[in-house]
C-alpha cells in the first residue's frame, strides 16, 4: 500500500509558455509545493514530480494538447492512488477554484488528451479560474491564454486561488481517511 493518499497532476505548456495563463495548473502546483514545504520538483519522463507525506504533485512537461502522454503514465504508475487533474479554466473568474469529479471536458484540449489516453472522462479535476477576455474571437482567446499573468493577477493567484486550492486538497485527502 502506497503512503501517497492523493495525486495532483498539473497541466500546462513547457518552455517559454510555462508561465502563461494556460499553464495555471502547473503554476499553482508550485505554490502548493511551497505551501506544504514539499521537496523541490525533480525531473521525470515528460514532467516533474514532488512527493511528500501523503501527497504527490506532478507538473506536465509537454504541450497542453499532448497532456495525456505525460500525465497518464504517471497516473498508472500510482494506479492505487486517487487523483485529480489541475488545469486552467476560462469560464471561471480569476481567483476562483472549482472541483469537478467527472463530466464535460468543456472543450479543454489538455483534458481531452488525458481522457483519450485514460479511455474515459471519469476523473476528478480542479479548475483554476483564469478569466476570459471580453471577445470570444478564437485568435483573441488564444492570445489571452498564451499571455502571462500580470503582477496583480499573480497576487490574486497567491491570495485568493491558493487558499481555496489548499482547502480543496485538504478536503479531498480527508475524505479518504
> CA 119, CA 4: separation in Å to the nearest integer?
24
Give CA–CA dist 85/99, Å, rounded.
10
Active site residues: 22
Following DSSP, what letter does each residue of the chain receive, concatenated? --S--EEEEE----GGGTTBGGGHHHHHHHHHHHHTTPPPPEEETTEEEEEETTEEEEEE-S-GGGHHHHHHHHHHHTTTS-EEEEEEETTSPTT-EEEE-SS--TT-HHHHHHHHHHTSS-SEEEEEE----S---HHHHHHHHTSBPPHHHHHHIIIIIHHHHHHHHHHHHHTT-
Beta bridge partners of 20: 148
Amino acid at each position: 500500500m502506497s503512503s501517497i493518499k492523493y495525486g495532483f497532476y498539473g497541466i500546462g505548456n513547457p518552455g517559454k509558455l510555462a508561465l502563461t495563463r494556460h499553464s495555471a495548473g502547473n503554476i499553482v502546483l508550485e505554490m502548493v509545493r511551497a505551501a506544504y514545504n514539499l521537496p523541490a520538483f525533480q525531473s521525470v519522463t515528460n514532467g516533474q514530480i514532488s512527493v511528500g507525506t501523503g501527497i504527490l504533485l506532478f507538473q506536465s512537461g509537454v504541450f497542453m494538447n499532448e497532456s495525456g502522454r505525460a500525465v497518464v503514465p504517471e497516473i498508472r504508475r500510482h494506479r492505487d492512488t486517487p487523483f485529480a487533474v489541475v488545469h486552467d479554466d476560462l469560464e471561471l473568474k480569476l481567483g476562483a477554484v472549482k472541483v469537478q469529479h467527472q463530466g464535460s471536458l468543456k472543450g479543454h484540449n489538455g483534458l481531452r488528451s488525458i481522457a483519450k489516453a485514460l479511455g474515459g472522462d471519469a476523473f476528478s479535476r480542479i479548475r483554476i479560474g483564469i478569466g476570459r477576455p471580453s471577445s470570444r474571437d478564437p485568435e483573441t482567446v488564444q492570445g489571452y491564454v498564451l499571455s502571462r499573468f500580470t503582477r496583480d493577477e499573480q497576487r490574486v493567484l497567491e491570495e485568493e486561488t491558493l487558499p481555496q486550492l489548499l482547502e480543496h486538497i485538504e478536503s479531498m485527502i480527508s475524505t479518504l481517511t
